[in-house]
Structure 1
Amino acid sequence: MDIDLRFERYIEDHKLFTKKDKLLVAVSGGKDSILLLTLLARYGVSVEAAHCNFELRGEESDGDEELVRAYCDQLGVPLHIRRFDTISYAHAHKISIQMAARELRYDWFEMLRQEVGCDYIAVAQHKNDHVETVLLNLSRGTGLLGLQGILPKRGNVVRPLLFLTATEVQVVVESLDVPYRDDSSNFSNKYARNKIRLDIIPQFEQLNPDFVSIMEDNIVRFQDAQGVLSLLVAQKRDELFVQVGEQQWEISKEAIKAQGIGLLYYVFEPYGFSKPVLEDMLAVLDAESGRIFLSSTYELLVDRTTLRLRRMEKPDGWSELASGDGEMEWRDYVFAASCSTEVSIERNPAVALLDYDKLIFPLTVRSWQEGDVFQPLGMTGTKKVSDFFIQKKVNLFDKKNIPIVVNGNGELLWIATYQLDDRYKITENTQKVLKLVCNISKYEYK
């Protein structure tokens, strides 16, 4: 099928945009982004181009800029160029060069989109990027949600090239005889994604040359399975949960007994309850009345014949961190957060290094609560935080003043200055690191 027709069909099938819209196209000078700009210009939609020069590769970076400028002139496409002092930005924000470049470009793209009146930002990720994302998530451990790959459209960002493989991109670029430049950093397997691209996928392609296309078919099945699962879980939730007030539900104990822990986890997932907490709840379902189990935002009461679920009113002693950069205060503690791609162990009890891609914001800092469990660093099983405090000889008064950092899904991340949860530690597959520094007194914090 003709490339222009395939391109048009993909845009229309996924309702990415219409010809009445205006797009800001991210153009690095590589084959992917140059092809995207070319096809959009041929499609007939109004576009403007944005090019970032991070001044990291000297003459190579300048050469990319010159090529983009010349090609946009040839197409008659308005071009916006921004040079960044990326190294200074990285040092000032205490993040890696790669993370600095990402933050700088996306912040600028969004600002520029609004400034020039564009409806969407178009980026040139293709089918191989889609597959790489799934393989990367698999290497870290993931459920069905992590197997969804890259979405064609998310917010103001669209990805119109996801229907092409990397090989197809190369063939089309050559057939259209469009100019491009290769970024030398793309050929280094220093980072996990590049290892997957350069080393792992070629091995699979030796087993089956159609591996990328087969994986795309699998991803569609994963997406379909997730959709079916979400529908069935929502139906089961409506069947089990009887609303008795605003943000309050009653659930029959007998009905709960008939469900497996796997299904219950998905049913209670929107309320932030982890599997270990639900397993503890099932263990005392008939033996104990009056027991309360907690997530970060909800509490579950085991009554005589029913379970009562309700949203907790947030106590005064809770603090939240909305993103991976900033500060939050809790009592006399200040937590400073920053992101980096540098994966190196730091042996400091006041510092937690967490795998960013496993985090769900906002993160919460609070005191210990009855029923809290975590997976201590280096262990495969879970432990009650109360038992951990007994082991560490922490008295009742002190344990209420120890900060507990909680993920958005209700799982504990860090007993600050004591112990990290093993599930969120950084590994050799970690791509992005959240660094949390706990300062003992906010009055001494600089």
Structure 2
Amino acid sequence: METLLGKFENYVAEHNICSHGDRILLAVSGGVDSMVMLSLFAQSGYRIGVAHCNFQLRGPEAEEDEQLVAECAEKLGVPHYNIRFDTLREMERTGESVQMAARRLRYDWFDSLCDEHGYTHIAIAHHGDDSVETFFINLLRGTGLRGLTGISVTNGRLIRPLLFSTRKEILDYALQKKIPFREDSSNASTKYLRNKIRLGIVPRIKEISPQFTETMTSNVERLTAAQGFIDRGMALLRQQVVLSRGDVHTIEVDRIDPMLPVQFVVYELLRGFHFNPEVINQLYHSFENEGQSTGKHFYSRDYAAYIDRRRIIVMPIPADDTCELEADAQTRRLSCGGNIIRFERLEVDDLDTLQQPDNVALIDESKLRYPLRVRRWRDGDSFVPFGMSGHKKVSDFLVDSKVSLPDKRRQFVVVSDGEIVWIVGRRVDERFRVGSTTENVLRLTAGMRLRWFRIRETTAGLAPDGSWMCRVRSGPDCCLQVCGRSSGEPIVDNLAGRRFGALPIFYKFVRCLSVLNTFAALCVRRTAEFPDRFRRPVAERNAEVRGRSVATCNGEPGA
């Protein structure tokens, strides 16, 4: 009978997942799946490093996970990287769920480790049961065929070399080989949908079909092949029906073969511009009812779409676009121009406190008149700021709040029946505040999508007084300047082609300039893409990047 190690090596080879010449970063949590993955890679002779994230959500239990991973990496003699995230604070800042915030934080960090230390792949310990659970999650969410393809073996840098195995096989192997691991107590909780499926639905199905995991794995592979066929067909259709001129893309709907499911084709074409299914359905309904479509815009996080006769025009959101969106009593989320607003309805007794961060607003829902409108502010807009009794122009409020000109242009407001309810991220209107008679509350949470830029130009120079300056540019409106003094020659790493995010850019840039001996003075010149709230002291930026509180690593120089 083939051992798990033999199955692992055959699976990696058959699917061409990685080679012994690659450098592979293993995401190791301390649980049985990732600890077995670490053992299999080490036994197979791959060049590996270990990355562990502590999200500081489980107290001493998370500390013990961290210690176990560090000890095992040291015992194997492989590079080890550890980081701690202030996940709860990050959730408050962005309005994301704990799962979404944790996922974004860890994968962004994995990417940065690969860039800094030359890893070619990131290995995740998902197995066959995880893929089956993902199938059911997406089935319940209504994601369509693409979501039913489960978890892919490879996705860019990400590799999942354990998808051939089941949870039981991995656990049996760990016990047999005496591989240490820790059990996450949250895995037994039915708070999360995945756990409800794992603990409730799947065991009952296995009572009927003991080989359910293997059967579903085969089904998912066939669905994946079908999706691949569709993707290929869509690539050919895109060439026929989409005319692109610079940033403007025109979808000639009448060129789509009427024998094809036209609405599905339009959905697939717009999905590439990050329009969500609800918005695409609204757009297509307007398209079919041409009288309702004149002048109406539809938005994704970066793009605006509008209907021009029998064509759909898609372009980046113009700077002067009001980005006006409607929200009814069922709306859960709106996005436009890199901003996301989430809508949550609850009873006042469900609130632990009325004190909320700036990006969260508590509104007395009984005072609202739907549909609400979310748009950029306009000249002449006024509201009654929280705690005051008289009206104030929004323009004066932003000036008094010392909001920069680029941030003013991006400022959104929530409007009910012509009255401003919330200056998004800044101040609630006094008339809509939660009071002593409030029963139902609308909680609005604003999040900002982090923008990534690819560095196109770097220049460095040494002045006669020994000071140096380095300038990084990713486009006409995105520039970072760092100035200081060096006791030696200023040597700058080649930054061309690297990715940097608006929030951690200073941190990563300083890491790239670590060859400099000393920094006497540092300053950041912020332009349109770097809001004021990201301009923090250097020490704070180095100690905490995107919610991190501690970042340590060993096993590699300069880490």
Same topology, TM > 0.5: yes
Q: Does 1:274 align with 2:280?
A: yes
**CA 1:253–1:351 in structure 2 vs 1: closer, same or farther (change >3 Å)?**
farther
State the distance in 2 between where 1:87 and 1:313 align.
Answer: 33
State the distance in 2 between where 1:19 and 1:244 align.
Answer: 42
State the distance in 2 between where 1:57 and 1:242 align.
Answer: 50
Q: Does 1:42 align with 2:52?
A: no
- For the 8 Å contact 2:27–2:51, the answer to whether it is kept is yes
Q: Tell me what 1:119 maps to.
A: 120
**CA 1:161–1:250 in structure 2 vs 1: closer, same or farther (change >3 Å)?**
closer
Q: Tell me what 1:425 maps to.
A: none
State the distance in 2 between where 1:393 and 1:73 align.
Answer: 59
State the distance in 1 between where 2:155 and 2:444 align.
Answer: 23
**CA 1:132–1:291 in structure 2 vs 1: closer, same or farther (change >3 Å)?**
same
**CA 1:219–1:104 in structure 2 vs 1: closer, same or farther (change >3 Å)?**
same
Q: Tell me what 1:154 maps to.
A: 155
Higher helix share: 1
Offset of residue 85 of structure 1: 5.3
Q: Tell me what 1:442 maps to.
A: none
SS of 1:274's equivalent in the other structure is helix
- For the 8 Å contact 1:265–1:275, the answer to whether it is kept is no
Alignment RMSD (CA, Å)? 4.6
Offset of residue 217 of structure 1: 1.4
**CA 1:290–1:49 in structure 2 vs 1: closer, same or farther (change >3 Å)?**
closer
State the distance in 1 between where 2:107 and 2:227 align.
Answer: 29
- Counterpart pick for 1:300 among 307, 312, 318: 307
Q: Tell me what 1:80 maps to.
A: 81
State the distance in 2 between where 1:111 and 1:365 align.
Answer: 35
Q: Tell me what 2:446 maps to.
A: 436
Q: Tell me what 1:317 maps to.
A: 320
List per-residue Cα deviations over 1:185-221 (Å, max 9, x = no partner).
Answer: 1111111111111111111111111111211112112
Offset of residue 258 of structure 1: 5.5
Matches within 5 A, 1:281-292: 281-284=287-290
Letter in 2 for 1:126: H
Matches within 5 A, 1:197-236: 197-236=198-237
Letter in 2 for 1:301: D
**CA 1:344–1:107 in structure 2 vs 1: closer, same or farther (change >3 Å)?**
farther
Letter in 1 for 2:62: S
Q: Tell me what 2:179 maps to.
A: 178
- For the 8 Å contact 2:293–2:307, the answer to whether it is kept is no
State the distance in 1 between where 2:156 and 2:166 align.
Answer: 24
State the distance in 1 between where 2:17 and 2:258 align.
Answer: 45
State the distance in 2 between where 1:21 and 1:434 align.
Answer: 46
State the distance in 2 between where 1:140 and 1:65 align.
Answer: 34
- For the 8 Å contact 2:134–2:151, the answer to whether it is kept is yes
Letter in 2 for 1:231: R
State the distance in 1 between where 2:321 and 2:124 align.
Answer: 39
Q: Tell me what 2:194 maps to.
A: 193
List per-residue Cα deviations over 1:98-147 (Å, max 9, x = no partner).
Answer: 55554554444333333433222222111111111111111111211111
- For the 8 Å contact 2:137–2:194, the answer to whether it is kept is yes
Offset of residue 41 of structure 1: 0.4
SS of 1:345's equivalent in the other structure is strand
Letter in 1 for 2:283: V
Offset of residue 46 of structure 1: 1.0
- For the 8 Å contact 1:335–1:436, the answer to whether it is kept is yes
State the distance in 2 between where 1:224 and 1:131 align.
Answer: 16
SS of 1:23's equivalent in the other structure is strand
**CA 1:208–1:82 in structure 2 vs 1: closer, same or farther (change >3 Å)?**
same
State the distance in 2 between where 1:266 and 1:329 align.
Answer: 18
List per-residue Cα deviations over 1:10-31 (Å, max 9, x = no partner).
Answer: 2233333221111222222211
**CA 1:76–1:219 in structure 2 vs 1: closer, same or farther (change >3 Å)?**
same
- For the 8 Å contact 2:205–2:212, the answer to whether it is kept is yes
Residues paired across the two proteins, number: 354
Provide TM-score, normalisation by structure 2: 0.52
**Unpaired segments of 5 or more residues in structure 2?**
324-334, 349-353, 355-359, 364-373, 378-414, 425-430, 433-442, 449-532, 534-559
State the distance in 1 between where 2:322 and 2:160 align.
Answer: 36
**CA 1:344–1:130 in structure 2 vs 1: closer, same or farther (change >3 Å)?**
farther
Matches within 5 A, 1:373-392: none
Q: Tell me what 2:436 maps to.
A: none
List per-residue Cα deviations over 1:164-201 (Å, max 9, x = no partner).
Answer: 11111112222323122212111111111111111111
Q: Does 1:5 align with 2:6?
A: yes
- For the 8 Å contact 1:27–1:37, the answer to whether it is kept is yes
Which one is further off, 212-221 or 92-101?
Answer: 92-101
State the distance in 2 between where 1:159 and 1:182 align.
Answer: 21
Letter in 1 for 2:446: L
Offset of residue 242 of structure 1: 7.8
Q: Tell me what 1:137 maps to.
A: 138
Offset of residue 252 of structure 1: 8.1
Letter in 2 for 1:153: T
Which one is further off, 57-66 or 161-170?
Answer: 57-66
Letter in 2 for 1:185: S
State the distance in 2 between where 1:65 and 1:437 align.
Answer: 30
- For the 8 Å contact 2:95–2:447, the answer to whether it is kept is no
SS of 1:150's equivalent in the other structure is coil
**CA 1:319–1:150 in structure 2 vs 1: closer, same or farther (change >3 Å)?**
farther
- For the 8 Å contact 1:248–1:308, the answer to whether it is kept is no
Letter in 1 for 2:308: L
